[in-house]
């Protein structure tokens, strides 16, 4: 089938599958149950997927499977149609933006140097890198003049997280993995960043997986929400679909606790 079709509708129909998990299982030594229990998902390109579930349900394990920081015991994982088992983990990680709650900035490098990590590996021109670093800093609401030469220790936790996001976004990777990236950010800045990130994703058309245990954040950001419990996918659908037809009692209860059950306004 031709991919050059220009109308939006046919483009949507032809959308490639960005992420596919087939019977993926993972059990850590010493655990009584699996961390991931026969997980099957297909995520279309351009989707903003929020992964929602309580602590310990397997969200981080799922994300780490996609850049091979964690290997499945069984099953297959395909990114853009290619099995990642056959891919070099280092190259794979270069193509997937990754933001974690614990930030992981290099302490001996300035903000600018941290954000330039991938451009440096990709051998971008100095000028292009500098322009892009400033653009990314503005995007995450950090004034470049003030922040680009600081060290991570000279930033608050929330500011460090924003640098982490800028670093992951700079090379516009086809797949972005964000594991509770707004955990350390105060409510006001969190709202701003959610809105910004949503805009960035929409404009880029890239595929995002965003982990959260905050149902309102999941609803605000996600074109689709993946609800997990105890290593299993309970439901994977649009927020509207989930509210209209919760898959089971667990999902119903989840909505009720956030006053988002049937007949309630969000």
Span near ligand ADP by CB under 6 A; candidates 53-61, 75-83, 133-141, 158-166 = 53-61
Strand partners, 26: 36
Residue with tokens 């419990």: 229
Nearer to ligand ADP, 53 or 181 (CB): 53
Beta carbon of residue 107, minimum distance to Mg ion (angstroms, whole number)? 23
Report helix, strand or coil for 194.
Answer: helix
Binding partner of residue 251 among Mg ion, ligand ADP, none, CB under 5 to 8 Å per kind? Answer: none
Angle between helices 157-169 and 187-204 (to 10 degrees): 0
Nearer to ligand ADP, 156 or 257 (CB): 257
- Residue 57 interacting with ligand ADP (CB under 6 A): yes
Nearer to ligand ADP, 178 or 200 (CB): 178
Nearer to ligand ADP, 35 or 136 (CB): 35
Could you list the residues that contact Mg ion (CB under 5 A)? 59-60
Nearer to ligand ADP, 55 or 203 (CB): 55
- Residue 235 interacting with ligand ADP (CB under 6 A): no
Beta carbon of residue 19, minimum distance to ligand ADP (angstroms, whole number)? 17
Q: Measured between alpha carbons, how far is 131 from 97 in angstroms, rounded to an integer?
A: 19
| β 175-179/96-100 pair status | parallel
Identify which of 228, 221, 216 has the alpha carbon closest to the alpha carbon of residue 200: 221
Beta carbon of residue 21, minimum distance to ligand ADP (angstroms, whole number)? 14
Q: Measured between alpha carbons, how far is 146 from 266 in angstroms, rounded to an integer?
A: 38
Angle between helices 157-169 and 126-139 (to 10 degrees): 130
- Residue 61 interacting with ligand ADP (CB under 6 A): yes
Which helix (H) or strand (E) segment holds residue 21: the answer is strand 17-26
Report whether 245 contacts 257 (CB < 8 A). Answer: no
Nearer to Mg ion, 165 or 170 (CB): 165
Identify which of 50, 57, 88 has the alpha carbon closest to the alpha carbon of residue 178: 50
Which residues in 4-43 contact ligand ADP (CB under 6 A)?
28, 31, 35
Report whether 96 contacts 70 (CB < 8 A). Answer: no
List 24, 43, 59, 243, residue binding ligand ADP (CB under 6 A)? 59
Span near ligand ADP by CB under 6 A; candidates 51-59, 139-147, 153-161, 254-262 = 51-59
Contacts with ligand ADP, residue ranges (CB under 6 A): 28, 31, 35, 53, 55-61
């Amino acid at each position: 089938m031709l991919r050059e079709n220009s109308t939006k509708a046919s483009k949507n129909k032809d959308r490639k599958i960005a992420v596919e998990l087939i019977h993926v299982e993972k059990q850590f030594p010493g655990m009584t149950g699996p961390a991931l229990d026969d997980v099957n998902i297909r995520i279309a390109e351009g989707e903003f997927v929020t992964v929602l579930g309580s602590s310990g349900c397997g969200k981080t394990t799922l994300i780490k499977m996609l850049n091979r920081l964690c290997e499945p015991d069984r099953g297959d994982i395909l990114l853009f149609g290619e099995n990642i088992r056959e891919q070099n983990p280092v190259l794979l990680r270069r193509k997937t933006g990754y933001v974690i709650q614990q930030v992981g900035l290099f302490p001996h490098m300035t903000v600018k140097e941290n954000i330039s990590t991938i451009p440096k590996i990709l051998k971008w021109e100095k000028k292009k890198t500098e322009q892009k670093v400033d653009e990314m800093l503005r995007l995450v609401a950090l004034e470049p003049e003030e922040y680009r030469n600081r060290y991570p220790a000279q930033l608050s936790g929330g500011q460090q997280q924003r640098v982490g996001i800028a670093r992951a976004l700079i090379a516009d990777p086809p797949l972005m993995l964000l594991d509770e990236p707004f955990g350390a950010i105060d409510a006001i800045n969190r709202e701003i960043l959610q809105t910004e990130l949503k805009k960035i994703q929409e404009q880029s058309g890239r595929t995002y997986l965003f982990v959260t245990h905050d149902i309102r954040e999941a609803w605000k950001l996600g074109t689709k929400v993946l609800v997990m419990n105890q290593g299993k996918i309970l439901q994977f659908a649009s927020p509207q679909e989930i509210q209209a037809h919760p898959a089971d009692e667990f999902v119903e209860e989840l909505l009720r606790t956030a006053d988002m059950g049937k007949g309630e306004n969000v």
